[in-house]
Chain A
């Protein structure tokens, strides 16, 4: 379970350009909950995700994951519990490393990076089987450099990598923003399936209101660093696109 209490983040503190990106924010997310986070540009959605992931440090407040206070953890320490998908397909993978090596790092996320060569046949077979689920034919290209794949392929692999070590929480920051419509639909379906199968708590930031209605079992709206609307699974079912548009 994710529990956020009085989380605050300001930029340019003490100057004329001071901005409160996240303002004394409170919310809880339960295991297996797939939360859709919407809001205008600058409402604080991405900052909130960065604060949870540890990419940014909070000015004050608490972030608890399964009861553990993680606000003092560094980003790499939090990543043992949190998987991330970025807006830019280039951000989630290492372009010069092969698909197999990228997955090796995902596998080792919560483990020691020792002086062992771990990309042997057993590991190769395990990854090949895992990647076959994507139906992209990438299981035959495990030695190919990640940088030579398309944005959609990279984003799908990033998603698979991020749930590989069974994270407690999955953060998705507009993962389909740079993808074509077909790849976007494929990725969103895959996301939903992986979240349900692995019972992961997930937060998806999106500007695509159709996706916001179609996917997830809870919807939150942020404005000026605060959550101003919170619809659970039941009340989300009664929402329609026009109503969602009228929020903005």
Chain B
């Protein structure tokens, strides 16, 4: 049972990153590969700050802001320097590998003997349950914040930019600025995920971000399938579905491991699973 609870904890931790992918992919229609770098950046900064005896809560805004800055750089390269969004993300992600190594000073930082965020306020005696409540509350706050943001005038302008850029410009929206800000917020959420996962797993690793973008994408796609079940396209339903998608995704991976699939093939399982999620709706359409 603990095996599946751990999967749920990871799912909750990763759902902040999935919300980031939701912003870049679904709101702005931009495949943002920066995620791989900013996830590690959030984790690396968290580990370094905690090991330097900073309060673990302090590293949360620090991780959000630094990762948002990295996302803004991708946005700037794409919107202002007119570089393809995919390439802009790859460039920043590549650069972040060196930045992350420089921040960490080594490839792995274990968080041993330091007060993690889960130990500051105790909601339950059981360690895993306490983590679950903490992560659940954190994600609830993030979801509420994102839902509110997307309903504000600024949020509507953000959504219009990704939905119909020509219309957005015709209505006085500075679409370049929107993309930069949007990618900053998306990567801020990803950094928050790095912050949470580093503390869930108890260490930061230079390679912890490799391939997370595909996990986020899978969660968003899975969320989309859930939205179809609800038949509603409201923002809160979409966000809730993305979070559920992230948890379900982790549960499926846990199930794959539990039935004896070699962890060596885990990335292959992820790729095939995401492919299935993406293609099933299209295959259904073509047979209808």
Give A contacts to B, CB under 8 Å.
53, 74-77, 79-80, 83-84, 86, 90-97, 101-102, 104-106, 108-119, 145, 161-162
Contact = CB atoms under 8 A, between A and B. Distances in A.
B164 A108 contact: no
Contacts of B148: 117
Contacts of A92: 167, 170
Contacts of A113: 153-154, 156-157, 173
Contact of B172 (A79, A91, A95, A118): A79
B208 interface: no
Contacts of B168: 76, 94, 105
A115 B172 contact: no
A196 to B, nearest CB: 23
A197 to B, nearest CB: 21
B156 A105 contact: yes
A105 B173 contact: yes
Nearest to A85: B170
26 contacts: A76-B169, A77-B172, A79-B169, A79-B171, A79-B172, A83-B170, A86-B166, A91-B167, A93-B164, A94-B160, A94-B163, A104-B156, A105-B160, A105-B168, A105-B171, A108-B171, A110-B172, A114-B152, A114-B153, A115-B149, A115-B152, A117-B148, A117-B151, A117-B152, A117-B153, A118-B152
Contacts of A115: 149, 152-154
Chain B contact residues: helix, strand, loop or mixed = helix
B174 interface: yes
Interface string B148-189: 110111101101100110111111111100000000000000
B172 A97 contact: no
B52 interface: no
B233 interface: yes
A76 B175 contact: yes
A224 B179 CA distance: 38
Given A94-B159, A117-B152, A119-B151, A106 B164 contact: no
Most buried by A among B149, B159, B163: B163
A108 B157 contact: yes
Contacts of A96: 159, 163, 233
A75 B169 contact: yes
Chain A contact residues: helix, strand, loop or mixed = loop
Contacts of A101: 156, 159-160
B66 to A, nearest CB: 22
Contacts of A109: 171-172
B164 A95 contact: yes
Nearest to A147: B163
A198 to B, nearest CB: 17
Contacts of B171: 79, 105-106, 108-109, 161
A145 B168 CA distance: 16
A97 B160 contact: yes
B181 to A, nearest CB: 10
Contact of A91 (B154, B164, B233): B164
A110 B171 CA distance: 8
B154 to A, nearest CB: 5
A127 B88 CA distance: 40
B153 A108 contact: yes
Nearest to B154: A113
Nearest to A91: B166
Contacts of B174: 74, 76
Interface in B130-162: 148-149, 151-154, 156-157, 159-160
A115 B155 CA distance: 8
Contacts of B167: 91-94
A75 B168 CA distance: 10
B231 to A, nearest CB: 13
A92 B169 CA distance: 10
A84 B156 contact: no
A97 B156 contact: yes
Contact of B153 (A80, A91, A104): A104
Contact of B233 (A105, A114, A145): A145
A45 to B, nearest CB: 18
Contacts of A94: 159-160, 163-164, 167-168
Contact of B154 (A74, A95, A114): A114
A80 B172 contact: yes
Nearest to B234: A143
Nearest to B175: A76
Contact of B152 (A80, A116, A161): A116
Nearest to A164: B171
Contacts of B166: 86, 91
